[in-house]
């Protein structure tokens, strides 16, 4: 799952030339712990946190650029969520700006976003995963169950490629922590009949091809 799928947008940004006092009021009104700071070219150059404001003391004639924290720690919009969590937790960060390939801020990702994904009901995760599997094959060939975010896929697979595709599809569902294939003895489905490419809806053929390319 990618950051772009769950990040918050639109977002509020600050400018280096802005007044620190006005920015502090904005932080308080919005209830944010930090906001990204951009330069005149709309590039991320820092973060202004509530801690920065408190440490600065008197900020009546101070600009945001003078008190902000640098450099700004950011994440790429196409980055995997698992990597982002590893960056958030050890540094004690509450939120991170999300940037596109050109370095422009396109969203924010917070611990709250991560928590909401982790607490997504198992039933909702299972439903989303089952829909993806059913749409890929055009029929109910595989069955998925979810317990505390851990998904288990049951059914018969023609080859290892099918296994990789099924796992990759389920892992794209928000809230999925892990995805595994149940041992053959635990499967409630017998070996399925061959499903040809023509039996798979065209839009899902492309989806499967994209997923398979990633999993190779």
* Angle made by CA atoms 175, 178, 179, in degrees to the nearest 5: 110
pLDDT at residue 65, as a whole number: 92
- The position carrying tokens 């995760």 is 125
Same fold, 3-118 and 122-181: no
Q: Phi/psi at 168 (nearest 5 deg)?
A: -65, -40
What pLDDT digit, counting tens, does each position of 19-65 carry?
Answer: 999 999 988 888 788 899 999 888 899 999 888 888 888 777 899 99
pLDDT of residue 210: 54
Regions of the chain short of the pLDDT cut 70: 88-92, 118-119, 139-140, 185-216
**Which pLDDT score is estimated for 200?**
42
Element (H, E) at 46: strand 44-49
pLDDT at 85: 74
Tell me the domain boundaries of the chain: 3-118, 122-181
Q: What is the pLDDT of residue 94?
A: 77
Helix (H) / strand (E) element for 47: namely strand 44-49
Task: Enter the tokens of residue 35.
Answer: 């906001």
**CA-based angle 105:109:113, to the nearest 5?**
155
Distance CA(212)–CA(216), nearest Å, equals: 6
Q: Are 156 and 191 within 8 A, CB to CB?
A: yes
What's the confidence (pLDDT) of residue 190? 39
CATH of domain 122-181: 3.30.1340.30
CB 38 within 8 A of CB 14: yes
What is the per-residue pLDDT for 9?
80
Per-residue pLDDT, 64: 94
Distance of CA 138 to the CA centre of its chain: 28
- Please give the DSSP secondary-structure letter assigned to residue 63: B
Assigned CATH for 3-118: 3.10.580.10
pLDDT of amino acid 181:
94
């Amino acid at each position: 799952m990618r950051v772009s799928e769950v990040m918050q947008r639109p977002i509020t940004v600050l400018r280096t030339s802005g007044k620190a006092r006005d920015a502090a009021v904005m932080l308080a009104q919005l209830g944010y712990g930090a906001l990204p700071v951009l330069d005149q070219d709309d590039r991320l150059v820092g973060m202004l946190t509530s801690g920065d404001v408190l440490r600065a003391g008197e900020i009546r004639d101070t600009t945001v650029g003078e008190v902000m924290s640098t450099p700004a720690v950011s994440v790429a919009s196409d980055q995997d969520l698992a990597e982002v969590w590893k960056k958030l937790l050890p540094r004690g960060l509450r939120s991170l700006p999300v940037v596109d390939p050109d370095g422009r801020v396109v969203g924010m990702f917070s611990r709250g976003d991560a928590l909401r994904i982790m607490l997504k009901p198992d039933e909702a995760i299972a439903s989303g995963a089952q829909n993806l599997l059913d749409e890929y094959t055009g029929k109910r060939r595989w069955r998925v169950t979810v317990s505390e975010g851990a998904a288990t896929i049951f059914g018969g697979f023609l080859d290892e490629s099918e296994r990789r595709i099924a796992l990759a599809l389920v892992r794209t569902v928000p809230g999925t922590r892990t995805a595994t294939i149940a041992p053959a003895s635990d499967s409630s489905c017998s070996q399925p009949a061959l499903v040809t490419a023509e039996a798979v809806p065209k839009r899902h053929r492309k989806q499967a091809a994209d997923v398979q390319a990633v999993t190779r």
